[in-house]
Amino acid sequence: MGDVVVIGAGVTGIQAALDLANHGILVHLVEREPSIGGHMAQLDKTFPTNDCSMCILSPKMMEVYRHPRIQIHTCADVTGIEGEVGNFTVKVRKSPRFIDEGLCNGCGDCIQICPVEVYNRFDAGVGTRKAIYKPHQQVVPDIVIKDPDHCIECGLCYDVCSRDAIKKEDTETEIELRASSVIITTGYRVFDATKKEQYHYLAFPDVVTSLEFERMMNASGPTGGKIRRLSNGETPKSIVFIQCVGSRDTQIDRPYCSGVCCMAAIKNAMLIREKYPDTDVSILYMDIRAYGKGYEEYYERAKSAGVHFLRGMPGEIIGNKKAMTIRVEDTETGEIKIIRPELVILSVGMEPSPGTGVIAEKFGIPVEPTGFFKSLHDATDTVATLKPGIYIAGTSTAPRDIPDCVAHGGAAAMRAFQDAIREGSE
Ligand SMILES: Cc1cc2nc3c(=O)[nH]c(=O)nc-3n(C[C@H](O)[C@H](O)[C@H](O)COP(=O)(O)OP(=O)(O)OC[C@H]3O[C@@H](n4cnc5c(N)ncnc54)[C@H](O)[C@@H]3O)c2cc1C
Ligand code: SF4
Ligand code: SF4
């Protein structure tokens, strides 16, 4: 039987890898970040069940780690591919981690002692990390990474590490993987909200993105789950969500709906009302898209929980770093409403992960005008591509929620499985 390479270890890639490995196929799971998990590891709760995101994902991450038929390659990127279905050679470049992966036991002593503190990309702007670090507490594999751009070579971590696991020098390495087929699950990134200048993201501290808010709500995140105004550290008494920031907007070339933002806003609005019943929460929207199983009922629950839904999109946020005003027409009544929120959450849309175009070129597969990978057929075959043996799944193909990603990852795995057993029988 042939092996399969899965590129991208978010929930989609993890599901595909597990399904294949549980059917006897050896899987190489290639992830460019230091840990597997993708965006789902950043979320607090997940709609529509309000399960804790990591409580669902973490056991799957551990299953991948322990699985005898899955080899994880972190800090790794694909640089090239040759061959055809049944017989691909995939070139993978591994960036230096400056850690001996076989020696580090993840004890964290080096993190404690490191004096350098920098912005943590995993916390999406809200938290910090050290120069030697784990992006979050539940990383898989459970080892650290040293960031040479911020390390001041003070030497403290080398002294404290009892296992001599930290390397002063490290270099890029290249490996070649043989595979009967490849599944690409490289996911998404969120829209850069600074492109909507009228909302003053990064200029006004109390304007945050929905992903930053997920980190703020997370009990193991940088604020310990407490909602705080970044301007003064106080609990906001009035919170406004603005929907479709970077979605359904032809002026900025984002004509498509990002699918998950309505439900994510409803989820977080409800969670705010549970945690802070005295905080007023409004969602400003064009249309609420609650299309999945149980989603309409979820929306109704939010209304019962006292979340205000106002159909209308504000032109801008007026004010300064301390006080903000939103003027918006309620398009259902024609009334002009004035709101003075203490925290604004921009529900940012999804766009293709950086590097999607480069991968498409290397693999010889097309992308949509939106930049997401193009499926062979949008109605009847959403995981195959024009190239036999190269499959795509999850949010690398279009905005999708987690239930969809899991199903899609499984569907791609089944197709790769067929190639793998065909290879074995020939
Ligand atoms: C604010 C917000 C809240 C959300 N809340 C919910 C919710 O409550 N419920 C729900 O169902 N959905 C929710 N979603 C959607 C959810 O995040 C996605 O459906 C899901 O995480 C997508 O998983 P994925 O594996 O397709 O992509 P990702 O999670 O993006 O994973 C892709 C992985 O591929 C890696 N990668 C990218 N390029 C390469 C490369 N070239 N080489 C190697 N690796 C690469 C990335 O590092 C990443 O680990 C939310 C989304 C947002 C923005
Ligand atoms: S590098 Fe050493 S000190 Fe740091 S986590 Fe690994 S084993 Fe512990
Ligand atoms: S050598 Fe670098 S990583 Fe290690 S403790 Fe000093 S600053 Fe931190």
For the stretch 391-418, pLDDT in tens is: 999 999 999 999 999 999 999 999 999 9
Tell me the average pLDDT across 387-393: 98
pLDDT band at residue 157 using 50, 70 and 90 as cut-offs: very high
Neighbours of 268 (CB within 10 A): 28
pLDDT of residue 350: 98
pLDDT of residue 202: 94
pLDDT of residue 422: 85
Ligand 3 atom with least separation from CA of 130:
8
Tell me the average pLDDT of the chain. 96
- What is the 18 CA–ligand 2 centroid distance (Å)? 29
Percent of the chain with pLDDT over 90: 95
Q: Is it the case that residue 425 has pLDDT exceeding 60?
A: no
pLDDT band at residue 1 using 50, 70 and 90 as cut-offs: confident
pLDDT band at residue 127 using 50, 70 and 90 as cut-offs: confident
pLDDT tens across 281-318, in order?
999 999 999 989 999 999 999 999 999 999 999 999 99
- What is the 59 CA–ligand 2 centroid distance (Å)? 23
- Token duo for residue 30: 């290639």
Tell me the average pLDDT across 323-340: 97
Ligand 2 atom with least separation from CA of 166:
1
- Domain 4-95+172-187+353-425 identical in fold to domain 191-349: yes
- Classify domain 191-349 at the CATH superfamily level: FAD/NAD(P)-binding domain (3.50.50.60)
Q: Domain boundaries in the chain? A: 4-95+172-187+353-425, 109-160, 191-349
- Token duo for residue 369: 């005008």
pLDDT tens across 219-250, in order?
989 999 999 999 999 999 999 999 999 999 99
Alpha carbons 275 and 351: distance in angstroms, whole number: 31
- Token duo for residue 156: 């403290």
Of 97, 101, 110, the one to substitute when testing ligand 2's pocket (max ligand atoms within 8 A of C-beta) is 110
* pTM higher than the cut 0.95: yes
| CATH for 4-95+172-187+353-425 (3.90.850.10, 3.50.50.60, 3.30.1490.20, 3.10.290.10) | 3.50.50.60
Alpha carbons 38 and 132: distance in angstroms, whole number: 20
Report yes or no: 411 and 393 within 8 Å, Cβ to Cβ.
yes
- What is the 173 CA–ligand 1 centroid distance (Å)? 27
Q: Is it the case that residue 424 has pLDDT exceeding 80?
A: no
First-to-last alpha carbon distance for the chain, in angstroms, is 9
Give the DSSP letter of residue 375: P
- What is the 186 CA–ligand 1 centroid distance (Å)? 8
Beta strands 117-119; 181-184: pairing state:
unpaired
* Protein residue closest via CA to atom 8 of ligand 2: 107
Q: DSSP letters of 223-264?
A: TTT----TTTSPPPSEEEEEEEETSSBGGGTB-S--SSHHHH
